[in-house]
Amino acid sequence: MSETALSGQKSPTARSIFAALQLDTRFLGMIGAFIVLCLVFNVFTDGRFLTPRNVFNLTIQTVSVAIMATGMVFVIVTRHIDLSVGSVLATIAAVMAVVQTDVLPDILGLGHPANWILAILAGVVVGVLIGAFQGWMIGYLSIPAFIVTLGGLLVWRNVAWFITSGQTIGPLDDTFTMIGGIGGTMGETGSWIFGIVAVAAALWLQVASRRRKASHGFPIKPAWAEITMATITIIAIFGFVWVLNSYDIPKARLMRIFEASGETLPEGLTMGYGIPYSVVLLIVVAIVMTVVAQRTRLGRYIFATGGNPDAAELSGINTRLLTVKVFAIMGGLAALAAAVAAARLGFSTNDIGTLDELRVIAAAVIGGTALAGGVGTIYGAILGALIMQSLQSGMAMVGVDAPLQNIVVGTVLVLAVLVDIIYRKRTGD
């Protein structure tokens, strides 16, 4: 053990740089792996992988699974599992579809501006209730989460079928479909404004954190480390906006947009899509979930319970109620994911969300969530979802046969966990 640790070639200077930056080296490794993956696919697709168009598509394909993966982090951190999220997503999508195509048009009228938000609210309520119910069975009746959600996997898939009588429901409300991805984007100007606000917020947080640490007299990062971090943040945010803005709306579509408002398309005008609303939703979810994880009692108790359930209970934490809350959050996020998934298709179908539970769990685990509990990050899970999606669509673009694609994805999942185990052993994390 100690010999391997000693022979491990680790440059002390690189280490001290990372220590000064206080970066999560594991997360850096994942980013590195992701970049290598993208570059390899880019070579094999003759440069088609890293085009604005494909980056745009990758982000909107990732959103639904990524939203649920943030909730799965909490579930797995508390030593549970949720196998039902794909089926719950289907039930909620069915509810939202029926509400906006059957129920609300009778009450408010077809195309009423409030239809989309009421449909989503109905879905969120159903999702939270389903999650809380499953959490209650796990927390208060002490049925293992694996069993409750395995049952849920079958139950909710078929509840969805009952709700829709097996039919595909649609077309969905026009405003509703805007959170699906390509149907609703912020445009170039809006995206730049969003980027500037994001940069300002990130920098302000960094300064505020430094001031707070200094006021308590804690050790603070050296100035160069702060500046490096700030530069990376600015480049990342503006780079992301720039890439998404570079994906131009096709000319035919632009002409339709202009015709709809009774104008003609000026010669030579191009417009970029910019940031999709679904990605904004994911960013908001990520921020809220990160704040919950790091800055609230609920988050602290989730991690404490995952680290040592007995200690949490002896500290006066109601771990049963906590389980209900964790699964209710998972249900609510499944509802948001359902809205994105259904809006992206424009319909609610019977097989919507099929196998999503496995993608979501894989994303969380690749993102560094330990099944033993107590460890996991929201940003890791989102990166995990992005890696899974890149792998899948990259292989599809290269032309890898469908069965081989799944073989590779499965293998990568197992290998990722193996690498993680080795990494944790070495660093003693």
Question: Between 131 and 306, whose beta carbon lies closer to other proteins?
Answer: 306
Which residues on adjacent β-strands are paired with residue 169?
348
One of 113, 316, 399, 403 touching other proteins (CB under 8 A):
316
DSSP state of 103: I
Check if the beta carbon of residue 233 is closer than 8 Å to that of residue 203. yes
**With binding defined as CB under 8 A, does residue 428 bind other proteins?**
yes
Residues numbered 105-164 forming contacts with other proteins, rule: CB under 8 A: none
Residue 126: which of 154, 98, 145 has the closest Cα? 98
Residues numbered 359-378 forming contacts with other proteins, rule: CB under 8 A: 374-375
Nearest-approach distance from CB 212 to other proteins, in angstroms: 5
Check if the beta carbon of residue 359 is closer than 8 Å to that of residue 199. no
213-244 core/surface letters (b: 16 or more CB in 10 A; e: else): eeeeeeeebeeebbebbeeebeeebeebbbbb
**With binding defined as CB under 8 A, does residue 300 bind other proteins?**
yes
**With binding defined as CB under 8 A, does residue 314 bind other proteins?**
yes
Site string (206-235) toward other proteins, x via CB under 8 A: ------xx--xxx-----------------
Nearest-approach distance from CB 307 to other proteins, in angstroms: 4
Largest CA distance in the chain: 75
**With binding defined as CB under 8 A, does residue 315 bind other proteins?**
yes
Q: What is the CA angle 105-109-114, rounded to 5?
A: 85
One of 110, 196, 257, 291 touching other proteins (CB under 8 A):
291
Residue in the block written with tokens 């969805």:
160
Measured CA to CA, the distance from residue 76 to residue 369 in angstroms comes to 7
**With binding defined as CB under 8 A, does residue 79 bind other proteins?**
no
Q: With residue 234 as reference, give the H or E element that holds it.
A: helix 223-245
Instruction: With CB under 8 A as the rule, give the number of residues binding other proteins.
Output: 31
Measured CA to CA, the distance from residue 18 to residue 26 in angstroms comes to 11
**With binding defined as CB under 8 A, does residue 320 bind other proteins?**
no
Among the listed ranges 84-92, 180-188, 264-272, 301-309, the one in contact with other proteins (CB under 8 A) is: 301-309
Nearest-approach distance from CB 146 to other proteins, in angstroms: 22
Among the listed ranges 192-200, 304-312, 360-368, 407-415, the one in contact with other proteins (CB under 8 A) is: 304-312
Q: 254-260: which pairs have CB atoms within 8 A and are 24 or more residues apart?
A: none
Measured CA to CA, the distance from residue 84 to residue 4 in angstroms comes to 42
**With binding defined as CB under 8 A, does residue 308 bind other proteins?**
yes
Q: Give every CB contact of residue 8 below 8 A, 6+ residues apart in sequence.
A: 426
Question: Between 274 and 299, whose beta carbon lies closer to other proteins?
Answer: 299
Nearest-approach distance from CB 58 to other proteins, in angstroms: 32
Nearest-approach distance from CB 392 to other proteins, in angstroms: 32
Question: Between 112 and 300, whose beta carbon lies closer to other proteins?
Answer: 300
The runs of H, that is alpha helices, within 296-427 are 297-307, 309-314, 319-345, 356-366, 378-398, 402-427
Nearest-approach distance from CB 320 to other proteins, in angstroms: 12
Residues numbered 324-353 forming contacts with other proteins, rule: CB under 8 A: none
Which residues on adjacent β-strands are paired with residue 57?
none
Nearest-approach distance from CB 272 to other proteins, in angstroms: 37
**With binding defined as CB under 8 A, does residue 306 bind other proteins?**
yes
Question: Between 190 and 307, whose beta carbon lies closer to other proteins?
Answer: 307
Which residues on adjacent β-strands are paired with residue 185?
276
One of 296, 404, 425, 426 touching other proteins (CB under 8 A):
296
How many CB atoms sit inside 10 A of residue 363's CB? 29
Helix (H, G, I), strand (E, B) or coil at 203: helix
401-414 core/surface letters (b: 16 or more CB in 10 A; e: else): eeeebeeebeebbe
Among the listed ranges 40-48, 122-130, 267-275, 305-313, the one in contact with other proteins (CB under 8 A) is: 305-313
Helix (H, G, I), strand (E, B) or coil at 218: coil
**With binding defined as CB under 8 A, does residue 307 bind other proteins?**
yes
Nearest-approach distance from CB 185 to other proteins, in angstroms: 33
Cα dihedral sign for 6, 11, 12, 18?
Answer: negative
Nearest-approach distance from CB 311 to other proteins, in angstroms: 4
Question: Between 46 and 310, whose beta carbon lies closer to other proteins?
Answer: 310
Which residues on adjacent β-strands are paired with residue 348?
169
Contacting positions for other proteins (CB under 8 A): 212-213, 216-218, 291, 294-297, 299-301, 303-308, 310-317, 374-375, 428-429
